[in-house]
Amino acid sequence: MTAHTHTGTPTRSTGSLAAGIEARAATGALAGAGNKMDAKGVKVFYGAKQALKGIDLEIPDRQVTALIGPSGCGKSTFLRCLNRMNDTIGIARVEGLITLDGQDIYDREIDPVQLRARVGMVFQKPNPFPKSIYDNIAYGPRIHGLASGRDEMDEIVAKSLQRAGLWNEVKDRLKEPGTGLSGGQQQRLCIARAVAVSPEVILMDEPCSALDPIATAHVEELIDELRENYTIVIVTHNMQQAARVSQRTAFFHLGDMVEVGDTEDIFTNPRDERTQGYITGRYG
């Protein structure tokens, strides 16, 4: 089965994360230049069952790429390949090539923990740690040794919360538990936590499915702001959301990537009848 393709690097800071965030913002002019990640012939098996049949997909730098398609078609499986989260599933086996800035992320030299700092993830259900708001954010930078002292850590926490649009709501209650926030605030806390380790790519697996419409709108606005500095890949069942937040959309069907292109083209002029059927609600 062939896929239709419609047609469209920041340096990682090893020192101060706050400086890294600033540097990333300063190089915003590079937005959209080239592909951040590239998948070629990606197959995934869960035991004997094949979930992905050979996916080719380019992930452009500092754009939002939406993965859509009917339940069980392999969107989350593909997303998890991008930061090797499938490594944590014993029966999962991944074949093919996935690169980040041209480097094979499945290379033996690559440490998956370091990779996941560069390619962060936000899950469907907000999952703050049972810790204070401050410590939720500081956890990753502590593990990765990104702050040399308390002042620097305070700065990272503040900048990450600002980036996630949560600072004003929580700046006076940083010692309170993250679990005490509303669902929408918790999800923005999780986005701040992902941002705190200065990732280059943020993967989002249905990040709004547990949120009400107001919280959803908030997170969608945030995604739009984040793409200035980060490459984002989002799995969503909500086609309006894909149309609102993404610049590129890839349609998955039964383990294949059927069609990818500019979001507007995919929604107004899908080439494959399976894509057309899905976006017009004939199935899925």
Q: State the residues that interact with ligand ATP by CB under 6 A.
A: 46, 51, 69, 71-77, 89, 91
First to last CA, the chain: 19
Place of tokens 């380019």: 58
User: How near is the Cβ of 116 to ligand ATP at its closest, in Å?
Assistant: 18
Nearer to ligand ATP, 7 or 71 (CB): 71
- Complex with ligand ATP: residue 156 or 234, whichever CB lies closer: 234
Q: How far is the CB of 156 from ligand ATP (least distance, A)?
A: 32
Q: Which is nearer to ligand ATP, 28 or 72 (CB)?
A: 72
Which one, of 257, 67, 273, 25, lies nearest residue 159 by Cα?
A: 25
Radius of gyration, alpha carbons of the chain = 18
Cα gap 259→152, rounded to integer Å: 45
**By the 8 A CB rule, do 17 and 148 touch?**
no
Nearer to ligand ATP, 46 or 167 (CB): 46
CA 139 from chain centre, in angstroms, equals 19
Nearer residue to ligand ATP within complex by CB, 32 or 72: 72
Phi, psi of 247 (to 5 degrees): -100, -30
Q: Determine the Cα–Cα distance for residues 87 and 91; give it in Å rounded to an integer.
A: 9
Considering the complex, what minimum distance in angstroms separates the CB of residue 78 from ligand ATP? 7
Determine the longest span between alpha carbons in the chain, in angstroms. 57
- Give the C-alpha separation, 83 to 86, whole Å: 8
Tell the smallest beta-carbon distance from residue 250 to ligand ATP (Å).
Answer: 12
Shortest distance in whole angstroms from residue 89 CB to ligand ATP? 5
Residues 6+ apart with CB under 8 A from 268: none
CB of residue 168 vs ligand ATP: minimum separation in angstroms? 33
Between 90 and 130, CB nearer to ligand ATP: 90
User: Whose Cβ is closer to ligand ATP: residue 132's or residue 216's?
Assistant: 216
To ligand ATP, the closest distance from the beta carbon of 36 in angstroms equals 21
The stretches of the chain forming alpha helices (DSSP H) are 17-26, 75-81, 112-118, 133-143, 150-163, 167-170, 183-196, 213-226, 239-245, 263-268, 273-279
